[in-house]
Amino acid sequence: MPRFSDYVVYVDESGDHSLVNVNPQFPYFVLSFCIFPVNEYVDHVVPRVQRLKFDFFGHDMVVLHEREIRKSTPPFDILLNERVRADFMRALNDIIEAARFGIVACVIDKERFRQRRGMNTNPYHVALEFGLERVFLQLQQRGQARRMTRVVFESRGSKEDHALELEFRRIMDTTAMRGMPETLAFHCAPKSANSSGLQIADMTARPIGLHEMRPEQRNRAWQLIEPKLVRLREGRIDGYGLKVYP
């Protein structure tokens, strides 16, 4: 039987990683890695997400998606009612604030990335390598090295999933970090899997990018997320829990 670790990692993104057409409204690509203790995830996070779904939708088949919530598109058109939206956002924020998990995130400024690296380097791959290295360091500090930790990505289609897995394996094959290939294991799940972890990861990515773009603007989601970014002992997150590149 494989020796599984005490943690599981869920990964989601915000923005696209294309360098051809950069959206001036959100010129970033953000990759967010959410590191959950398995016991916390199973015993507390999943039940609270399920409760929220039953409270607001009467079932648990709905998949929480940041963009649909933000725009109040079906099935989140219930949020067009201001009172319902306030109650829903309060409940969702309470789940994220109470949950015990860490975040490693990479923000790619696509315009500057294109100027520095050209068009032939995939920003997703750069963000992926940074994130995996920092996730492994966190696991290593917690005595989880060489204990299999699933790193779960949301499926984007068979071709894209295959390319992502190849890049993941390339990083594992070429890393200088001893123990990382024996620790991190690739897993891809469809949206229909209705994973609470992937849905929470989806909630974290865009607010991180928005904070980088407009740091002075009030951002309630960032206030919830910032304490969960992993940091050095002196409290610094830059370059450790949060990498902005270039």
Say if residue 246 is preceded by a cis peptide, omega within 30 of 0.
yes
**pLDDT digits over 161-188, tens only?**
999 999 999 999 999 999 999 999 999 9
What percentage of the chain's residues is helix, strand, coil (to nearest 5)? 50, 20, 30
- The third-level CATH classification (topology) of the domain covering 7-245 is Nucleotidyltransferase; domain 5 (3.30.420)
pLDDT (0 to 100) of residue 21? 86
Q: What is the pLDDT of residue 234?
A: 81
Burial 90-118 (b: 16+ CB within 10 A, else e): eebeebbeebebbbbbbbbbbeebbeebe
| Alpha carbon distance 130, 168 (integer Å) | 11
**Do the beta carbons of residue 107 and residue 243 sit within 8 Å?**
yes
CB contact at 8 A, 32 and 105: yes
Is the pLDDT score of 1 beyond 70?
no
Q: What is the mean pLDDT of the chain?
A: 95
Ranges of each domain in the chain: 7-245
pLDDT tens track for 89-119: 999 999 999 999 999 999 999 999 999 999 9
Between CA 179 and CA 139 the distance in angstroms is 11
Read off the pLDDT band of 2 (50, 70, 90): low
Counting every residue written for the chain, the total comes to 246
CA angle 193–243–94, rounded 5-degree value: 50
The pLDDT value recorded for residue 235 is 82
